[in-house]
Chain A
């Protein structure tokens, strides 16, 4: 790095110093552990049955597909 690079670096640092305080204000690890422990989404079997019924209806009555899309 020559003198011009150093000067440019100093200029850039003066022009855009960045955030003064870069330290974290709190420990992120407990939050990460909570996130890891959080149970994945549980879908009850009744909702699986409803989804299957919906797919079956769409398969048996394909004319309802445009109507359904129209409502979305």
Chain B
């Protein structure tokens, strides 16, 4: 399996969030319909459903390009997606979709970014790293 390395990188990157998105969707459905938390589901889910999996795939393709020039651990590369791309995109999407963002949520933004980077670091190191090895690009 030597050909189409970028396609394989995209597939490896997309797999983890595609699986996790089901879990995420279930959590929000329980919150919305079980506990009547007022979440505008249809506007809220645009970002995680439509953008995040493709973003992971594209970021994994970028990893293949970047590792040719300098060595960066996959976990660190994955963690950087939060402050550089996913965070600004998520915030922009939240504002564009007219989601009500409480003030305290904005005040917690730095902590949220750190928590997101931690989660992304672990997910990329172990999940995406595993899929990269399976697809022989690790």
Q: Does B27 contact A (CB under 8 A)?
A: yes
B105-138 vs A, CB cutoff 8 Å, 1 = contact: the mask equals: 1001001101110111110011000000000000
For A7, list chain B residues within 8 Å (CB): none
Q: Is the interface of A mostly helix, strand, loop or mixed?
A: helix
Q: Does B48 contact A (CB under 8 A)?
A: yes
For A10, list chain B residues within 8 Å (CB): none
Q: B104 to A63, Cβ gap below 8 A?
A: yes
Number of interface residues of B (CB under 8 A): 31
Q: Does A20 contact B (CB under 8 A)?
A: no
Q: How many A-B residue pairs have CB under 8 A?
A: 65
Question: Could you list 25 A-B pairs, sorted by A, with CB under 8 Å?
Answer: A41-B126, A43-B126, A47-B125, A50-B118, A50-B121, A51-B122, A53-B118, A54-B115, A54-B118, A57-B115, A61-B108, A63-B108, A67-B90, A67-B115, A67-B116, A68-B115, A68-B116, A68-B119, A69-B27, A70-B24, A70-B90, A71-B82, A71-B86, A72-B21, A72-B48
